[in-house]
Amino acid sequence: MTLSEIKGRDDLPRHIAIIMDGNGRWAKQRGENRIYGHRQGAGAVREVIEASAEIGIGYLTLYAFSTENWNRPDDEIDALMGLMVKSMNDETKTLVENNMKLSVIGDVGRLTEDVRLRLQDTVELTAGATGMHLIVALSYSSRWEMAEAAKAISRDVSRGLTDLSDIDEKLFSSYLGTSGIPDPELLIRTSGELRLSNFLLWQVAYTELYFTETLWPDFGRDDYYMAIADYLKRERRFGLTSEQLSDNK
Ligand code: FPP
């Protein structure tokens, strides 16, 4: 499928989430170090953001750094944080000019102050944007996010701000980092790994999953269009039968 065939369709995913995997293996295949792979990966990030805006995707969530990634070697963590700061320095103007909003989800308290402030700056500068919403999951894990939500709900119940009987799926969702953001319709993972790795576990309950062997630095527009085309072919039943879906049309 080409861009012109995808663009303007009314059944496109509103929200796409991506697990960007394979930077290390991509670098190793070329006899380079992992950091080189992450740098190339940042190029693929730019490409996918541009393509998403062109197609008219409303929300794009990128898994940039997991809670578990804190266990990687210090030089790799430093390089990834440096890349994040560099991307913000280079791209904030473009985000503003293109009316894009940036949010960060995750345990940002673990980031160093310079990284946190740099991100906060871009988040504040783009807060009023009404175009595409880019969500970067940084120092993120779904179990952490859900445990934080449980703590915050308990606190509000004990203070009398929320009643135990008010707790339902909608209320729980509103305590997550993704509050106000619709659940993704499509989740893409690159590099051939077939798992979710603690990413948006609550939010992907009905999400269509797409796995590709392509390593993240090689993931370009054609791969992205292919993933979206695959999504467009699927029948989303949400627990109903095909017949029920046809009757409701
Ligand atoms: C996974 O590959 C990738 C990451 C842990 C980092 C992703 C970060 C970027 C692409 C940098 C820029 C991001 C933004 C949002 C500007 P891996 O290292 O796990 O690869 P491997 O599985 O082959 O070892």
* 97 C-alpha to ligand 1 centroid (Å): 26
Give the integer Cα–Cα distance in Å for 232 and 240.
18
Tell me: the pLDDT tens digits for 44-59?
A: 999 999 999 999 999 9
Determine the average pLDDT of the residues in 12-16.
97
HSE, CB side, 13 Å, CA atoms: give it for residue 46: 15
> Confidence band (pLDDT; 50, 70, 90) for 221?
very high
Nearest protein CA to atom 7 of ligand 1, as residue: 64
**Residue 239 pLDDT:** 81
Task: Return the axis-axis angle of helices 74-97 and 113-125, rounded to nearest 10°.
Answer: 20
15-19/186-189 β-pairing: parallel
Tell me: the pLDDT tens digits for 135-155?
A: 999 999 999 999 999 999 999
Give the integer Cα–Cα distance in Å for 195 and 172.
24
> pLDDT exceeding 90 applies to what percent of the chain?
90
Between 221 and 236, the more confident residue is: 221
19 CB under 6 A from ligand 1?
A: no
Q: In sequence order, what are the beta bridge partners of 135?
A: 61, 103
- For the beta sheet containing 15-19, the strands, ordered from the edge strand earlier in sequence to the opposite edge, are 101-105, 133-140, 59-66, 15-19, 186-189, 208-211
| Domains located in the chain, CATH noted | 12-248 (3.40.1180.10)
135 CB under 6 A from ligand 1?
A: no
**Residue 249 pLDDT:** 61
What separation in angstroms does the CA of 245 have from each of 10, 50, 231? Answer: 17, 34, 17
Determine the average pLDDT of the residues in 68-72.
97
72 CB under 6 A from ligand 1?
A: no
* 23 C-alpha to ligand 1 centroid (Å): 5
> Confidence band (pLDDT; 50, 70, 90) for 184?
very high
Mean pLDDT of the chain: 95
Give the integer Cα–Cα distance in Å for 242 and 12.
20
* 40 C-alpha to ligand 1 centroid (Å): 9
Give the integer Cα–Cα distance in Å for 66 and 107.
9
Amino acid identity for residue 248 in this structure: N
Between 133 and 241, the more confident residue is: 133
Report the residue among 19, 21, 119, 213 best suited for mutation to probe ligand 1: largest number of ligand atoms under 8 A from its CB. 21
132 CB under 6 A from ligand 1?
A: no
Report the residue among 23, 30, 190 best suited for mutation to probe ligand 1: largest number of ligand atoms under 8 A from its CB. 23
Determine the average pLDDT of the residues in 20-25.
98
**Residue 26 pLDDT:** 98
Nearest protein CA to atom 12 of ligand 1, as residue: 42
153 CB under 6 A from ligand 1?
A: no
Model confidence, pTM: 0.94
106 CB under 6 A from ligand 1?
A: no
100 CB under 6 A from ligand 1?
A: no
Catalytic residues: 21, 69
The three-class DSSP label of residue 28 is helix
Alpha carbon of residue 27 to chain centroid: 23
